[in-house]
Structure 1
């Protein structure tokens, strides 16, 4: 046997002892070596992502993580409760003056201001009823005259203050002076915006005694504090029992004639009750939507980069496969973002 034959025989025996994937497949190359080279060829055939793009991706993801932490801290299970979702739907109709609340936005705003400042309205009425000297009555007439003019809040307050400075020396008793000063203080509370100015004018125009309606309506509204607010039926029952009061109030808060009926006041009370209950949560929800809009500003570039440099064609760093933080919360409220934009 020649040396070369001996070498081949020895080599064959050694190869037989190797695992199948390490045995020569073609020539001296094993299957494992061939597969490695094939895989390397595939990988090395992919293009490199520009380093500047990778840096942008990393920085954007970092910003997204920071915002996601804030988003997570603000998110609340209340935001997906049935009643809150119902309020959001009604509030959108209210803000756009459409649907259920078409033509009622201005009237509801007037009613809301009236209920929020009812104590001041009642004190104004009490002062005008009790303190009736000539100077005081003249002062009240000046106030009504100013209310009839299209004045800004600051203009109204300035004119009232001038009249106050003029009348105080004419009032003889300290009690009378204190009463007029208190009266002006209540005017400031009621007339802190144009709605308040308009509302005070309307009450005075129709009859100052109508201020008493506010106490009754406020007491009715308070009965719904801890009740289920989703059904309109309970509101309808209460309004129908007090129909005369609400129809009278409708003139003052300028409810359209075609809508001056119990159903309208039931809807108004329901909205105000829902608003009072969810006012704090609504503010937090708006904050959440604002954060999600900011989150979206960073999310969109990340998705764009991933789409522009797909794994099938580019060597993606591991950071490209990381889970995007906050995506689950974004998807949960995405339809609200679209409606609010």
Structure 2
């Protein structure tokens, strides 16, 4: 009699559990998609955990992330400055290539060599110049638009300058002159490797007749000088800008600082960003890799959560895999807010 009672009770519990879990069955296709996404996310979470680093919790690195986020989200005083900050950061990083270009153009001045330099500038002008004939009025302001047919292509640029280089080298008698143009071309190709930004910077320097690339070295020296200083001290940044005001005003035209923001505070914020980026360079590279992994992780995470929401346990008998914890979720909760600012 006791065994029968226990059996009846167990059956009632099973029926109650089944009733609470729902009676419908999750489709096989959805289950397979869910499980595949879960398998992928396990791999990605393992990779992301190996890229996680205690340095990311360092207050100074956290401050860098906050500043980068301010630029990316156009927060208050940082509004419209992200592109300018990235342009200057690249210019300082690529200063050796800019200086090589400047020195070659100043030292090697034969007719054919100058023809080659002009060919390069004409090409960049065709790709990056604004079309004054294509102006439109938006809200009472004149907006200059870029040519629709001026799409930049790194491969096209390399192909054309190499073809022109071979043509010019045939007319140059000295090996030294030929090698100078070869080095010049390699510097151009190094700038071209930086997506569109590197060559656009060169074009802007030429456009504004700012051919003294040594100012980039001066800014680089400031960045190095700040490495052992308190970079959260904005007043110190502004004081350094004021002492080198002429340099920042010159470079401001190149990186597109609006006239309304040509002040020590604006340049101080950009200088602060450059100095922090330099200080945490190695951590930033690893953090960026982790963000790339987490972006992939997020896609699979969405697949999993969407399917689980589509088949709630109140209506469906969920497979055991639907109840598993999602690996990497704690990392996402910690760093997810930064995914959009790393590209």
TM-score by length of 2: 0.72
Conserved? CA contact 2:223–2:271, under 8 Å: yes
Following superposition, the deviation at residue 120 of structure 1 comes to: 1.0
Paired position in structure 2 for 1:221: 223
Following superposition, the deviation at residue 78 of structure 1 comes to: 4.4
Conserved? CA contact 2:97–2:191, under 8 Å: yes
Structure with higher Rg: it is: 1
Paired position in structure 2 for 1:187: 188
The question of 1:128 aligning with 2:105 is answered: yes
Unaligned runs of 5+ in 1: 1-28
Alignment RMSD (CA, Å):
3.8
Q: Secondary structure at the match of 2:26?
A: helix
CA distance in 1, matches of 2:326, 2:158: 54
Following superposition, the deviation at residue 214 of structure 1 comes to: 0.8
CA distance in 2, matches of 1:187, 1:302: 52
Query: Where in structure 2 are the equivalents of 1:239-318 lying within 5 Å?
Result: 239-276=241-278, 277=280, 278-302=284-308, 305-309=311-315
Conserved? CA contact 1:71–1:292, under 8 Å: no
CA distance in 2, matches of 1:39, 1:73: 44
Following superposition, the deviation at residue 209 of structure 1 comes to: 4.0
Conserved? CA contact 2:100–2:187, under 8 Å: yes
CA distance in 2, matches of 1:85, 1:335: 12
Following superposition, the deviation at residue 285 of structure 1 comes to: 2.3
Q: Structure 2 vs 1, CA of residues 133 and 63 (structure 1 numbering), >3 Å: closer, same or farther? A: closer
Paired position in structure 1 for 2:143: none
CA distance in 2, matches of 1:175, 1:199: 28
TM-score by length of 1: 0.72
Q: Deviations over 1:251-294 (max 9, x none)?
A: 22221111111211121122233444223312312322431331
Unaligned runs of 5+ in 2: 128-149
Query: Where in structure 2 are the equivalents of 1:72-151 lying within 5 Å?
Result: 72-75=46-49, 76=52, 77-97=54-74, 99-150=76-127
Paired position in structure 1 for 2:12: 41
Q: Which of 1 and 2 has higher RCO (CA within 8 Å, sep 6+)? A: 2
Paired position in structure 1 for 2:141: none
